[in-house]
């Protein structure tokens, strides 16, 4: 089998050297490579050689297919080859010697015949003859010396017996070795075995493999180009069909308008003027953005454009389900951007409406989604996951990660996955937030102001959850239920929430926001992206006991948080349904400016009042020596300013949270163990008690029913 390759050789220092090698299909590439080397200084010559190798004979045949010699080099060779070079009678011989030297160096245009190699059988026969000859010669020398050497004693050396045998043996061995060396150098010095060039074969094999890979890549590229062309043609055809249908509809509408105009000639001008005026008003309203908001709209458009450009071609052809997912992604990104850049809700709504219009939504549908996208987040957990993905991605983008929008493809991949079965029970940390005084604010300042407070609460909580790794479970009307994997993450998140709410109140003193937080940890049952069980119930009851701007945690959370730089103050006793005996909670003091000792003193002063409230809740008389309400009023007169709940040092008595029937009736169910034992000894089976759902304390919105979200195909 013959194999062919192309070599680019260059002359440097009077010798030809291999510059590069190419496979059989690389003839043009080799010539092109040689031409690029013509302008390189320091080269005396360039040529391309075609090398044909025969595997059976082991012979190489080389042919020069391209050669380039600079003018100076050619002139020098001509001068060397002329008879007058170097002058004198030796000029002719010098030119001949130079010509012979160059012919030895140059490969030439004629085939190169390598030195013939011997086969293995020939080498073996010659080696055998050399050995036989050496043995015979050594035997002859020993025989002659033994005949000539006398059997007598010369000095101390006896030339007979064992001494004579040793002398003959040494003489024979030395003679044999000497004759073997002489015969080998005389007859076998230039012998070479006919062995294949494995290195060249491996090199050619790699070149052939590279060629096949290149051809395969070219075929794949051609196939993909054909598919893209067909897809483009198909899309173009569909677009033309849509344009034809649109023209047809427009023609029908024009015909219908003409018919109506003929029937009502007097009202012909009014329908034309009113839409024009409405369009002008819509344009003015759509462009009614401040310069800061316009800049943030440009940021969102850059973010959205980077996300869409990173999608593969098959992902860009979205159905209604994927479009709805991208709308939720944009809603989360817009809310994160507005929270970071301090935009008002109207500006955020207009920016999101503009982005949804680019997605293909009609203006009225885009505006409806931008104003009420929160209603969708409660219907499916995947909607909330896509919304949170948009918030997290925008946070990373505003922090300088320009590759963050490219994760949209991963989010859409997860969006299209079917719901996987989940572990029904797991260990989590459950957190509830609740807006304090929302009902009173609704009656005092109206529904719009109350809704603005709810939106501010949602922005703060969701922004903190996105940064600390929390997961929003559902919206409870006046608060949010979330879960965490670690206790430290939940404590850090609640501290950040209260700090951001304090900053919000400083910037918006007319509509203050007060939030109370309750945290519990333990095993929960997860079904359809919702949490159930005793742990969830206890967290909901803990947040009911908290005051405005206060964070209360269970003893379980307090025990798991030991060792950190947290400041806790013991609060209680409280009456918690399902707990046998008084329940003591821990307040997390999040404000570093407060003195922890003063907070502890206020908690101790409040304890007698809580004991009286606990006794009233369970229907038993207060213990002897307990202070009554009148005593508390005397000890803490109404004129004395009480510390705020944000400081965790409220001194005024807290009203009982339990309903009246709880105070008069005992729970019919068997009481559960203490809170510390409930998290450890709760049953593994599915709990029969559902999570208590508190009715929202603000008036429900009277908005019309939102448009039905698209269903997944």
Radius of gyration of the chain (CA): 48
- Contact status, residue 23 vs residue 5, Cβ threshold 8 Å: yes
The least confident of 33-37, 462-466, 565-569, 646-650 is 646-650
Q: What is the pLDDT of residues 645-700, one digit of tens each?
A: 333 333 333 333 433 333 333 333 333 333 333 334 443 333 333 333 444 444 44
Range 98-103 contact pairs with CB under 8 angstroms and sequence separation of 24 or more: 102/77
Q: Of 190-199, 509-518, 634-643, which one has max mean pLDDT?
A: 509-518
Strands 471-475 and 530-532 turn out to be unpaired
Instruction: Please state which of the ranges 6-20, 153-167, 339-353, 517-531 shows the lowest mean pLDDT.
Output: 153-167
Rounded Cα distance, 27 and 553, in Å? 79
- Alpha-helical runs (H) found in 480-532: 487-507
Reply yes or no on whether the pLDDT at 90 is more than 50.
no
Q: For 265-291, write each residue's pLDDT tens digit.
A: 544 444 444 444 444 444 444 457 788
Q: What is the pLDDT of residues 317-334, one digit of tens each?
A: 888 888 898 999 999 899
* Predicted TM-score of the model (pTM): 0.40
Rounded mean pLDDT of 4-23?
86
- Rounded CA-CA distance 175/182 in Å is 11
Domains of the chain: 2-105 (no CATH), 120-187 (no CATH), 292-415 (no CATH), 425-681 (3.30.70.1230)
Residue 643 has pLDDT above 90, yes or no: no
Comparing 31-35, 415-419, 576-580, 679-683, the range with the smallest average pLDDT is 679-683
User: Token pair of 254, please?
Assistant: 């024009």
pLDDT recorded at residue 197: 63
Q: How far apart are CA 522 and CA 677, in angstroms?
A: 10
Q: How does pLDDT run across 538-550, given as a tens digit for each residue?
A: 999 999 999 999 9
What average pLDDT does the structure give for the chain? 75
- Average pLDDT estimate for 62-81: 67
Bond from prior residue into 325 cis (ω within 30 degrees of 0): no
């Amino acid at each position: 089998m013959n194999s062919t390759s192309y070599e680019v050789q260059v002359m440097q220092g009077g010798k030809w050297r291999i510059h590069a090698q190419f496979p059989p299909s690389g003839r043009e590439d080799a010539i092109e490579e040689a031409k690029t080397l013509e302008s390189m200084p320091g080269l005396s010559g360039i040529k391309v050689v075609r090398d044909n190798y025969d595997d059976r004979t082991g012979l190489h045949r080389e042919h020069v297919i391209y050669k380039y010699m600079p003018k100076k080099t050619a002139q020098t060779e001509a001068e060397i080859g002329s008879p007058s070079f170097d002058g004198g009678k030796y000029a002719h011989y010098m030119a001949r010697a130079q010509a012979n030297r160059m012919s030895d160096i140059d490969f030439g245009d004629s085939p190169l015949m390598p030195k013939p190699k011997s086969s293995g059988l020939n080498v073996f026969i010659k080696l055998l003859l050399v050995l036989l000859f050496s043995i015979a010669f050594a035997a002859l020398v020993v025989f002659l010396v033994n005949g000539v050497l006398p059997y007598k004693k010369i000095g101390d050396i006896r030339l007979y017996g064992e001494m004579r045998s040793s002398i003959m043996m040494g003489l024979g061995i030395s003679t044999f070795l000497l004759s073997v060396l002489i015969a080998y150098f005389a007859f076998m010095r230039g012998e070479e075995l006919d062995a294949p060039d494995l290195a060249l074969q491996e090199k050619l094999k790699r070149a052939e493999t590279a060629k096949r890979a290149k051809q395969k890549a070219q075929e794949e590229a051609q196939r993909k180009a054909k598919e893209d062309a067909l897809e483009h043609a198909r899309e173009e055809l569909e677009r033309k069909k849509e344009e034809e249908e649109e023209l047809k509809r427009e023609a029908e509408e024009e015909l219908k308008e003409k018919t109506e105009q003929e029937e009502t000639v007097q009202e012909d001008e009014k329908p034309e003027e009113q839409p024009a005026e409405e369009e002008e008003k819509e344009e003015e309203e759509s462009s009614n953005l401040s310069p800061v908001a316009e800049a943030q709209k440009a940021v969102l458009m850059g973010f959205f454009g980077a996300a869409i450009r990173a999608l593969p071609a098959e992902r860009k052809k979205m159905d209604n389900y994927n479009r709805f997912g991208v709308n939720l992604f944009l809603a989360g990104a817009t809310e994160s951007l507005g929270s970071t850049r301090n935009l008002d809700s109207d500006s955020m709504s207009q920016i999101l409406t503009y982005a949804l219009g680019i997605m293909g939504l009609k203006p009225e549908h885009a505006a409806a989604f931008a104003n009420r996208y929160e209603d969708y987040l409660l219907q499916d957990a995947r909607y909330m996951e896509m919304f949170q993905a948009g918030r997290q991605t925008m946070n990373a983008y505003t922090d300088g990660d320009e590759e963050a929008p490219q994760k949209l493809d991963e989010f859409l991949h997860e969006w299209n996955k079917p719901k996987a079965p989940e572990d029904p029970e797991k260990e989590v940390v459950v957190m509830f937030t609740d807006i304090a005084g929302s009902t009173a604010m609704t009656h005092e300042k109206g529904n719009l102001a109350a809704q603005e407070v709810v939106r501010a609460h949602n922005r703060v909580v969701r922004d903190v959850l996105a940064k600390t790794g929390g997961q929003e479970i559902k919206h409870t009307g006046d608060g949010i239920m979330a879960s965490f994997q670690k206790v430290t993450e939940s404590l850090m998140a609640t501290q950040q929430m209260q700090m951001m709410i304090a900053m919000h109140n400083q910037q918006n003193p007319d509509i203050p926001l007060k939030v109370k937080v309750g945290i519990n940890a333990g095993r929960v049952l997860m079904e359809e992206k919702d949490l159930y069980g005793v742990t969830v119930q206890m967290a909901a009851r803990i947040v009911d006991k908290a005051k405005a701007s206060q964070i209360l945690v269970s003893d379980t959370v307090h025990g798991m948080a030991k060792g950190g730089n947290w400041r806790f103050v013991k609060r209680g006793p409280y009456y918690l349904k399902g707990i046998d005996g008084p329940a003591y909670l821990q307040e997390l003091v999040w404000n570093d400016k407060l003195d922890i000792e003063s907070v502890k003193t206020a908690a101790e002063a409040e304890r007698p009042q809580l004991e009286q409230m606990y006794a009233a809740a369970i229907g038993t008389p207060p213990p002897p020596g307990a202070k009554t309400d009148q005593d508390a009023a005397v000890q803490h007169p109404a004129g004395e300013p009480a510390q705020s709940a944000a400081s965790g040092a409220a001194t005024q008595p807290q009203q009982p949270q339990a309903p009246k029937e709880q105070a008069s009736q005992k729970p019919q169910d068997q009481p559960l163990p203490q809170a510390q034992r409930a998290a450890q000894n709760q049953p593994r089976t599915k709990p029969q008690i559902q999570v208590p759902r508190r009715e929202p304390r603000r008036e429900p919105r009277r908005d019309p029913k939102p448009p039905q979200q698209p269903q997944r195909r």
